């Protein structure tokens, strides 16, 4: 008899998370704590539960730009080495407790130098936090491996510098590069220099594309910039007819097995999808695109990997085989080496789901 599928059983299933922002997943208690420590007095709420609700409500505007405004408060409390390491350690522990066995967590180092840290100091603090979190989780019997992704902000002009930073740390925990921030008006080709550099270095990158802007953004990310994966990519459905016929770009994305880092709750909040039930993930999964399930910003969406999967199971009737399929898609699409991916698939993911399906 298969284990009934609900939030508590999904929590025990091994999960893989490719798209999670460090500054979008801070514990509300930690925001309050660090704000008090550093004397940041602009928090919109005085206590953790009210603050948690404020983040969820404010992010629920239907606009990516307004959604992004909420990050000012988390970024403000992530300006010291101690603060950054704490947030990173807690992120690793929280994901491990949620049953995530492999996570790629991203953040933009350039946003964390306001109190005088250098980019290297920012990265060192975050990577140290991830290692501490992995260890603390392991001591509690929860195994997680965390890879870091260095993000550059698309409205700024530091992408080449951040790309070089990412490559300099490739053997110390940074596994990839990304660009994020407002999409409309900031096409990925603004950062071509960074992407060409990364390709020459045989490095990996993903691009937020097809979230608040449509097909041209996805096309540029793939065909001009050469992205390995698409952050969100929901708007690829604009190239699929109601009858399920694929246009040339959608066909290319599916044929090349380009991973889509889909973040259902976040997409509903920013207006990229009407509701979970109407989220393009249902169609894209049916058409066998390389779909993965992600959290994006656990704080702003009040969510977790378990919750995202439970919402999808509810909306689309997914079973363990579907959840395993999403998880293996994600593991295959991760930025770590093939041998490590295979080890997690065969040693952790398949046995985990086999036990739940039996």
Ligand X SMILES: O=c1[nH]cnc2c1ncn2[C@H]1C[C@H](O)[C@@H](CO)O1
Smallest separation, CB 272 to ligand X (Å): 9
Q: What whole-number distance in Å separates Cα of residue 50 and Cα of residue 285?
A: 36
User: Nearest to ligand X by Cβ — which residue?
Assistant: 180
Closest CB to Zn ion among residues 220, 296: 296
Which span sits near ligand X by CB under 6 A: 35-43, 106-114, 254-262, 322-330? 106-114
Closest CB to ligand X among residues 19, 142: 19
Dihedrals phi, psi of 139, to nearest 5 degrees: -65, -25
Bridge partners of residue 100, in order along the sequence: 15
**What is the CB neighbour count within 10 angstroms for residue 278?**
12
Interface pick for ligand X out of 110, 134, 211, 228 (rule CB under 6 A): 211
In sequence order, what are the residues at sequence separation of 6 or more whose Cβ sits closer than 8 angstroms to the Cβ of residue 2? Answer: 319, 320, 356, 357, 358
Does 68 sit near ligand X (CB under 6 A)? yes
Smallest separation, CB 61 to ligand X (Å): 13
Of these residues, 90, 110, 211, 308, which one is catalytic?
211
Q: What whole-number distance in Å separates Cα of residue 297 and Cα of residue 290?
A: 21
Q: What does 71 bind: ligand X, Zn ion, none (CB cut-off 5 to 8 Å by kind)?
A: ligand X
Smallest separation, CB 79 to ligand X (Å): 13
Tokens 């492999």 sit at which residue?
102
Does 220 sit near Zn ion (CB under 5 A)? no
Q: What whole-number distance in Å separates Cα of residue 122 and Cα of residue 28?
A: 21
Which span sits near ligand X by CB under 6 A: 20-28, 94-102, 161-169, 320-328? 20-28
Which span sits near ligand X by CB under 6 A: 27-35, 93-101, 107-115, 344-352? 107-115
Query: Could you tell me the strand order of the sheet in which 291-293 lies?
Result: 15-21, 100-107, 145-153, 174-180, 205-209, 229-232, 260-262, 291-293
Nearest Cα residue to 137 out of 174, 105, 89, 104: 89
Q: What whole-number distance in Å separates Cα of residue 122 and Cα of residue 80?
A: 8
Q: What does 106 bind: Zn ion, ligand X, none (CB cut-off 5 to 8 Å by kind)?
A: ligand X
Interface pick for Zn ion out of 296, 304, 344, 349 (rule CB under 5 A): 296
Q: What whole-number distance in Å separates Cα of residue 68 and Cα of residue 24?
A: 10
Interface pick for ligand X out of 11, 106, 112, 229 (rule CB under 6 A): 106
Does 180 sit near ligand X (CB under 6 A)? yes
Number of residues in the chain: 358
Does 176 sit near ligand X (CB under 6 A)? no
211 catalytic, yes or no?
A: yes
Does 296 sit near ligand X (CB under 6 A)? yes
Closest CB to ligand X among residues 23, 239: 23
Does 25 sit near ligand X (CB under 6 A)? no
Give how many residues touch ligand X by CB under 6 A.
19
Q: What whole-number distance in Å separates Cα of residue 231 and Cα of residue 12?
A: 26
Does 299 sit near ligand X (CB under 6 A)? no
Does 107 sit near ligand X (CB under 6 A)? yes
Closest CB to ligand X among residues 71, 203: 71
Tokens 């053997």 sit at which residue?
171
Angle between helices 119-139 and 159-168 (to 10 degrees): 50
Asked whether 198 and 145 are in contact (CB, 8 A), the reply is no
**DSSP H stretches of helix in 15-172:** 28-38, 48-59, 64-69, 71-76, 81-97, 119-139, 159-168
Closest CB to ligand X among residues 32, 59: 59
Contacts with Zn ion by CB under 5 A lie at: 296
User: What residues line the site for ligand X (CB under 6 A)?
Assistant: 21, 23-24, 64, 68, 71, 75, 106-108, 111, 151, 180-181, 208, 211, 266, 296-297
Binding-site residues for substrate: 21, 23, 181
Residues assigned a catalytic role? 211
Pick out the residues of the known binding site for Zn(2+).
Answer: 19, 21, 208, 296
């Amino acid at each position: 008899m298969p284990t009934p599928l609900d939030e508590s059983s999904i929590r025990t299933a091994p999960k893989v998370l490719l798209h999670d922002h460090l500054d979008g997943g801070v514990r509300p208690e930690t925001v309050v704590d660090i704000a008090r420590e550093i004397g940041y007095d602009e928090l919109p709420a005085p206590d953790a539960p009210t603050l948690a609700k404020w983040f969820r409500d404010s992010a629920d505007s239907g606009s990516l730009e307004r959604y992004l405004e909420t990050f000012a408060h988390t970024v403000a409390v992530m300006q010291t080495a101690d603060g950054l390491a704490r947030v990173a350690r807690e992120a690793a522990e929280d994901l491990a407790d949620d049953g995530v066995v492999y996570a790629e967590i991203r953040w933009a180092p350039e946003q964390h130098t306001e109190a005088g840290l250098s980019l290297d100091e920012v990265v060192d603090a975050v990577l140290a936090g991830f290692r501490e979190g992995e260890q603390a989780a392991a001591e509690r019997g929860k195994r997680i491996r965390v890879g870091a992704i260095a993000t550059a902000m698309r409205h700024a002009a530091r992408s080449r510098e951040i790309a070089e930073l990412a490559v300099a740390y490739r053997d110390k925990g940074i596994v990839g590069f990304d660009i994020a921030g407002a999409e409309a008006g900031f096409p990925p080709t603004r950062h071509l220099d960074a992407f060409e550099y990364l390709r020459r270095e045989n490095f990996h990158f993903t691009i937020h594309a097809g979230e608040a802007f449509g097909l041209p953004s996805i096309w540029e990310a793939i065909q001009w910039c050469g992205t390995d994966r698409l952050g969100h990519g929901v708007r690829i459905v604009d190239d699929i007819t109601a009858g399920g016929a694929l246009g040339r770009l959608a066909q290319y994305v599916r044929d090349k097995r380009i991973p889509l880092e889909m973040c259902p709750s976040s997409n509903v909040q920013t207006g990229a999808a009407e509701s979970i039930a109407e989220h393009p993930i249902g169609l894209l999964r049916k058409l066998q695109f390389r779909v993965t399930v992600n959290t994006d910003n656990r704080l702003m969406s009040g969510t977790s990997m378990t919750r995202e999967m439970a919402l999808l199971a509810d909306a689309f009737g997914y079973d363990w085989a579907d959840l395993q399929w999403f998880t293996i898609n994600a593991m295959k699409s991760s930025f770590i080496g093939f041998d490590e991916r295979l080890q997690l698939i065969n040693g952790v993911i398949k046995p985990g789901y086999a036990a739940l399906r039996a």
